[in-house]
Structure 1
Amino acid sequence: MLTALAGALTPILLIICLGYFLGKKTHYLESPSLGDLVSNLGLPALLLYSVLSMQMQIFSMLKIIAATVLVLAIVALASFIFLKILKLPTRFYLPPLVNPNTGNLGIPIAYALFGSEGMAIAVVISSVVQISHFTLGVGFMSGAYNPKQLLKNGPVIALLIGALLLSLNVSLPSPLMNTLNMLSHITLPIMLMLLGKSLSTLSVKESNKISRAAMLSAFRPLVGGLSACLVVFFFPLSHLESVVLVVLNAMPVAVISYMLAIKFKGPVDEIALMILISLPISLGAVGIFWWFYI
């Protein structure tokens, strides 16, 4: 079992390391349009292809969406109480603790561990977390929120289109599905390399914050995974849906939280530390949850 887990995660870690190396030594990944390409074209294509190719029922999709929202709500409540105990401001610390990196890390891990069916579930969960990033994340860190931002979010649009097609029981023509499949194949490696590149550019200047960042880093994957375990115990999900939900909610702090902290002048150094420290903790938690459920 450990061999299977190591075999699944090793390619992911190697591609992240490749992205880190390319980010440090080359300019290959520096185009700002590369991230937009993945967010607005690759990830929506991956979502549509994954959901439609496994012929997920609309009820199953709604169950996954509802379960994800419930997990995020539980983690948000637990994080709010935790931050109040530590006397830390919720404005900048709540979004990183609530929103996991389900995109450029969670989806590849779900694919590696559970195959295409697990990835289809993961992209639905990731789309919900994307909405949380652009509502709770932007809303808290900026102190304001504009709902029109969601209308520009590719995965959200793809989720709505996918739900509409499923509800109408409409199948896309084979040439169009093949096109979506080809586009989706470029998405996972680029997402992982962009994650590595983001890690290569993180700037940490205040080492005295390491202990607090380590505590917050451990909180994110452990409370996220345990909250998901609580939800799947009471929620009518299949075994595969349950384990994917648990694994994705055990993901580390998302890189987008670091980008939002830069934009809205938050504790950038500390959130950078949280991303770095929470990554190995998260992978360890994934191994534990995967072992328990499999």
Structure 2
Amino acid sequence: MFLQILSVIAPVLTIVGLGYAWARVCMPFDNDTIGSLVLRIGTPCLIFATLTGAEISTEEVGAIALSAVCVLAVSAAVGVTVLRASGLPLHTYLLSAMHGNSGNMGVPLTAMVFGGEGLALGIAYFLVVAVSQHTLGLVVSAGRFDLRSLLKQPIVHASAVTILVLVTGIEVPEWIASTTELLGGMVIPAMLLLLGVSLSQLKVADLRIATAMAALRFLAGATGAVAIVAAFGLTGVEAGVVWIMATMPSAVVNVLFAERFGRSPERVAGTIVVSTAATLAGLPLIVWVAMWFSGSG
């Protein structure tokens, strides 16, 4: 069991560490360019290639998507309750409690733990979180909803095309399948490298708040995962994927919203650093619980 868990977490820690070390020794790394390539080209291709090529049913994808919606709802409820009791502003901290880093960390981890099926289900979960970030994220941070901003996201277009293919059963030409699979292959290592670089650049402004918010992120996500796995009777890989995706650290994108709308970005950044560091340290436990949920542990 130990070697099985090590084989999963070692690549994650190694690639994140490489990104961190690369930035710390001041080697050139264009976050904007690489991030845009991953977001605008790699991720849409990964979504399409994985979901259209995986041997999973639309019912499984729908079940994971619904589970993701419900986990986010439970996480939001836990976050609102704790933040209001603590007197902390919702517009600054609620997103950190709700949205885990399902892209940079969750998707790679589900792929390494559960293989192709885990990757496909992880992507389905990630899509829900991504849409939530660009809808509820804007509502909470800015107090408004911008539909045009959501419709400009390439993952929305990729999701629409993917759903069309899955529902209609259209046969994807081999050259399109191969091209999207090749381009999607850059996403997982690039996401982990970007995470490492981001950790080297973010600073902790208030360790006490950052630690408390990191604990709240895990508490909210874990509560949501356990509740939904039990309520929906999820088993196997589906249960393991929901657990992993729900317990990921605070998403890096949260600091972008905080900077854009003046919501104490230095404190949000501190939450991301502490939350991510704690999650990396706790990966053996998170992976073990995921395997236990799935029945493979």
Partner of 1:146: 146
Q: TM-score, normalised by structure 1?
A: 0.94
Identify which of 242, 251, 259 aligns with 1:245: 242
The answer on whether the counterparts of 1:52 and 1:171 sit within 8 Å (CA) in structure 2 is no
Alignment of 1:192-211 (within 5 A): 192-204=192-204, 206=205, 209-211=206-208
Give 1:281 deviation, angstroms: 3.0
Partner of 1:276: 273
- One-letter amino acid matched to 1:93: Y
- One-letter amino acid matched to 2:157: I
Give the 3 Å change call, closer, same or farther, for CA 280–202 of structure 1 in structure 2: closer
Partner of 1:18: 18
Give the 3 Å change call, closer, same or farther, for CA 127–222 of structure 1 in structure 2: same
2-side partners of 1:56 and 1:288: how far apart? 24
Q: TM-score, normalised by structure 2?
A: 0.93
- One-letter amino acid matched to 2:84: K
Gaps of 5+ in 1: none
Which piece of structure 1 moves more, 266-275 or 122-131? 266-275
2-side partners of 1:288 and 1:104: how far apart? 20
After the TM superposition, which parts of structure 1 deviate over 3 Å for at least 4 consecutive aligned residues?
Answer: none
Partner of 2:169: 169
2-side partners of 1:127 and 1:138: how far apart? 16
The answer on whether the counterparts of 1:141 and 1:264 sit within 8 Å (CA) in structure 2 is yes
- One-letter amino acid matched to 2:104: N
Give the 3 Å change call, closer, same or farther, for CA 291–67 of structure 1 in structure 2: closer
Partner of 2:263: 266
Give 1:53 deviation, angstroms: 1.1
Match of 2:190, SS?
helix
The answer on whether the counterparts of 1:63 and 1:237 sit within 8 Å (CA) in structure 2 is no
Partner of 2:158: 158
2-side partners of 1:48 and 1:233: how far apart? 30
Give the 3 Å change call, closer, same or farther, for CA 252–116 of structure 1 in structure 2: same
Give the % identical residues.
29
2-side partners of 1:288 and 1:215: how far apart? 24
Partner of 1:111: 111
Match of 1:252, SS?
coil
Gaps of 5+ in 2: none
Partner of 2:126: 126
Tell me the number of residue pairs that the alignment of Structure 1 and Structure 2 aligns: 291
What RMSD in Å do the two structures reach over aligned CA positions? Answer: 1.6
Alignment of 1:65-104 (within 5 A): 65-104=65-104
The answer to whether 1:62 aligns with 2:67 is no
2-side partners of 1:31 and 1:67: how far apart? 32
1-side partners of 2:171 and 2:234: how far apart? 24
Give 1:103 deviation, angstroms: 0.2
- Residues 144-170 of structure 1: per-residue CA shift (max 9 Å, x gap): 220111111122221221111111012
Give the 3 Å change call, closer, same or farther, for CA 168–237 of structure 1 in structure 2: farther
The answer on whether the counterparts of 1:56 and 1:166 sit within 8 Å (CA) in structure 2 is no
Give 1:236 deviation, angstroms: 5.2
The answer on whether the counterparts of 1:247 and 1:290 sit within 8 Å (CA) in structure 2 is yes
1-side partners of 2:138 and 2:196: how far apart? 23
2-side partners of 1:190 and 1:152: how far apart? 22
